[in-house]
Chain A
Amino acid sequence: GQQVMQIPQYQHVQEGEDFTTYCNSSTTLSNIQWYKQRPGGHPVFLIQLVKSGEVKKQKRLTFQFGEAKKNSSLHITATQTTDVGTYFCAGYKFSGGYNKLIFGAGTRLAVHP
């Protein structure tokens, strides 16, 4: 079953409002990645977090990795219509001798002008 839970499943905001999606794992992750998939497109890598408590920023996007390396969040400040898409977290978990990337179900963001 799903080992990486992501909430909310869907969020609708007005342009200019903030947006946050949360990712939780039942087990410790080696690292966590975030991807964005535009409507009709394919997932595109945004960032990777490795260290406990790490915070990284990309312009209006802020990514956090929890102290226990079991949760993460993506916060978008002042959303724009270009932010529309589905945001996936994906955690690397060491299992069976390999690092396996496990995706959350994604949060679909709709931004209305």
Chain B
Amino acid sequence: DADVTQTPRNRITKTGKRIMLECSQTKGHDRMYWYRQDPGLGLRLIYYSFDVKDINKGEISDGYSVSRQAQAKFSLSLESAIPNQTALYFCATSGASAYEQYFGPGTRLTVT
């Protein structure tokens, strides 16, 4: 869905580097999420935000931080990347609790 965009789409970085993944949405949704996808493990929630002033940790937040710069923008940072953070990262939005989520195209991150 073009309504949710992620940049970059692919990134290769080295261990110890700081990296930021960005997500923007034009759906007007208040709720935004960051997920990580690994083969065989499905989608695991890293952080979620219900509005600009409400940010919450998900099940695997260690090693990650987020910033909600505006209703439409939610960025994910890896302060010091490590190889086991190599994964596919998805941003998602939803309109309200228990509603469907709309996913961005994903960012494939490789940490060497």
Which A residues have a C-beta under 8 Å from some C-beta of B?
Answer: 2, 6, 9, 30-31, 33, 41-45, 48, 88, 90, 92, 98-101, 103-106
Q: Is the interface of A mostly helix, strand, loop or mixed?
A: strand
Closest-by-CB residue of A relative to B56 is: A98
Smallest CB–CB gap between B31 and chain A, Å? 10
Stretch at the interface among B12-20, B62-70, B95-103: B95-103
Which B residues have a C-beta under 8 Å from some C-beta of A?
Answer: 1, 35, 40-45, 50, 56, 90, 97-98, 100-106
Q: Are B102 and A45 touching (Cβ within 8 A)?
A: yes
Chain A residues with CB under 8 Å of B44's CB are 103
Chain A residues with CB under 8 Å of B90's CB are 42-43
Excluding A42-B106, A99-B97, 4 further A-B contacts by CB distance (< 8 Å) are: A2-B42, A42-B104, A44-B1, A45-B102
Chain A residues with CB under 8 Å of B43's CB are 43, 88, 90, 103
Q: Are A99 and B106 touching (Cβ within 8 A)?
A: no
Chain A residues with CB under 8 Å of B103's CB are 42-44
Q: Are A101 and B56 touching (Cβ within 8 A)?
A: no
Chain A residues with CB under 8 Å of B40's CB are 9, 105
